[in-house]
Amino acid sequence: MNRSLTKSVVEGVIFAHSEPLSMETLERLLPVVPRSLLEEILQELEEEYNARSRGFTLTQVGGGYQFRTLPEVAPWILSLRSIRPTRLSRAALETLSVVAYNQPITKSRIEQIRGVESSSALKSLLERDLVTAAGKVDGPGRAILYATTPRFLEVFGLKDLSELPPLPEIEVIVDE
């Protein structure tokens, strides 16, 4: 398969797939194409779409590649589709932040950090596939551990968790 056809195939399968397409999936689809060539092609496509200044771009999110609408174009697309983006409540955002920065984490630990009961916020995040049950604690009660999902990365436009902004340092003031 020549480079031009390979580039077209990569672009086409990413376009046709609704979820971010991982490098591993691309390697399975194109077993004769070396990973280094796939990486070069993806880099080229990203640069080409960014240089075009069009309504969408190729972006690396959630461990894969996906065509995404530019944020400044979103209001028109949403009005065309008559859809309003779902908003997260303040409680859900707080809970999601606690999970993202402390995962895997139990519900009791989330509530300890937030200082309030978090069942409904956690339920909402589970329903939206932003958080998932990631196992259980080995010990009394076998509490469920929660962690973020690939959907979380996709929704917030992150490649991986290392792209989360750093938490501010807490300064301890000691009166003398």
pLDDT tens for 125-174 read 999 999 999 999 888 888 999 999 998 988 888 888 988 988 876 554 44
Mean pLDDT estimate for the chain? 87
Residue 54 predicted with pLDDT over 90:
no
pLDDT of residue 73: 86
pLDDT of residue 169: 64
pLDDT of residue 170: 54
What is the pTM for the complete model shown? 0.61
Residue 116 predicted with pLDDT over 90:
yes
Q: Could you give the CA distance from residue 84 to residue 82 in angstroms, rounded to a whole number?
A: 7
pLDDT of residue 173: 43
pLDDT of residue 84: 54
pLDDT confidence bin for 30, thresholds 50/70/90: very high
Coil vs helix vs strand at 106: strand
Q: 10 Å Cβ neighbour count for 148?
A: 23
How much of the chain, in percent, has pLDDT values that exceed 90? 54
Q: Could you give the CA distance from residue 18 to residue 163 in angstroms, rounded to a whole number?
A: 23
How much of the chain, in percent, has pLDDT values that exceed 70? 92
Cα separation values, 154 from 20, 62, 129, Å? 8, 5, 11
All domains of the chain, ordered by start, with CATH? 3-80 (1.10.10.10), 90-163 (1.10.10.10)
pLDDT of residue 82: 57
DSSP string across 104-146: SEEHHHHHHHHSS--HHHHHHHHHTTSEEEEEE-SSTT-PEEE
Q: What is the mean pLDDT of residues 54-65?
A: 88
pLDDT of residue 145: 94
Q: What is the mean pLDDT of residues 50-78?
A: 86
| Residue 40: exposure state from Cβ atoms within 10 A (0-12, 13-18, ≥19) | middle
pLDDT confidence bin for 25, thresholds 50/70/90: very high
Q: What is the mean pLDDT of residues 78-103?
A: 82
Number of H-type helices and E-type strands within the chain: 8, 5
